[in-house]
Amino acid sequence: MFNKKSMMVVLVLTLTLSMMFLVVGCSSSTGEEEVTLKIANYYATDHPVNQNLEEIFKTMVEEETEGRVEVEIYPNNQLGSEQEFIEGVQMGSVEMAMTGNMWENTIPEFRIMQMPYMFVDYDHADEVLNGPIGADIYEYLEDLDVKVLNSFPNGFRVISNNERAIESIEDTEGIDLRVFEGQTIIDMMDRLGFDVTVMAMDEVFTSLQQGVIDGQDNPLATSYDAGWYEVQDYVAITNHMYSPGYIVINKGIWNGLAEEDQEVVQKAAELAGNQIRDDVMANDEKIIKSITADGVEVTYPELEPFMERVQPIIGEFIEEYPHTEDIINEIQEKAEDYL
């Protein structure tokens, strides 16, 4: 027989268990804890990257996760320089980023993507970087707690300057050219005859305007949307290096997402990346027409001498990292399908 005190204990335990089941039931019905994905990048607000982040990625993720995942976009280096927000993604203080290929400073295998004249066109690059070859290379980022969701094109890099029109490789001598902090691009521009200056993206416009540097190399859309062609007189279509972009996320943040939300984020990244690619391709011709109309002289130098000057970089890279030879050969074999 239970006495009054025992009955009270049983009643309290029963109520406690009921509340626990209720909490668990509510938790499972509402899903995972809400997450905010901050996305850092260095692109101008009206660049195709940020337009598609807003219109495709953010919209899709927030709608299809029913608000469990919120997206905040920070363009124009609002969260620091590329190196700073790359480090932020590794630490998890920045959940996501749209990066360039500065990963090559930490992961040598990423230099493959920016070897001189490695890719024939956008389709060739897309097959490699969003296929099995790219996936193998991205595994090198796992130790940095970074996951690549998709690769998109910044474009093929071209050269602008205020000294002279570049009609041939002989015209490069003495031009002080800004480059990003990447071993391959520094080596390449030095071999092509430029005086090389390493500088962060957010310093370029003022430095061009004030004559601190003569020129810079970037894809057409990057330079145009940043307003740099407003203070440049000449553009040479050299297409010397493919400039990849990556949609990356901190691996811990990724692992913390519910599986259904991971699927949404992955799909949204792929759709946004595909549209960025289409927009960048369509924009190239429009940009050339626009800057020509504004008085910028656009030249198309013979590329064979440029290619011959920088081709040894690939062989030297393979000598230093022999395990990359098969990957590079595979990329070059695939190029034949796009010639």
Least confident residue range of 12-16, 49-53, 140-144, 200-204: 12-16
Tokens of 4: 């009054």
| pLDDT for residue 3 | 52
Q: Residue 203: enclosing H or E segment and its boundaries?
A: none
The answer to whether 182 and 102 have CB atoms below 8 angstroms apart is yes
Q: Determine how many CB atoms are found less than 10 A away from the CB of residue 320.
A: 10
Q: Determine how many CB atoms are found less than 10 A away from the CB of residue 87.
A: 15
Residue 29, pLDDT > 80, answer: no
Q: Residue 156: enclosing H or E segment and its boundaries?
A: strand 146-161
Rounded to whole angstroms, the Cα distance separating 326 from 151 reads 21
Mean per-residue pLDDT, 210-215: 98
Which residue, among 223, 264, 206, has the nearest Cα to 67 in the 3D structure? 264
The answer to whether 258 and 68 have CB atoms below 8 angstroms apart is yes
Q: What is the pLDDT of residues 148-184, one digit of tens each?
A: 999 999 999 999 999 999 999 999 999 999 998 888 8
| pLDDT for residue 183 | 85
Rounded to whole angstroms, the Cα distance separating 40 from 46 reads 15
Could you tell me the residue ranges of all domains in the chain? 34-338
CATH ID of 34-338, from 3.40.190.170, 3.40.50.620, 3.40.50.720, 3.40.50.970: 3.40.190.170
**Is this structure's pTM higher than 0.85?**
no
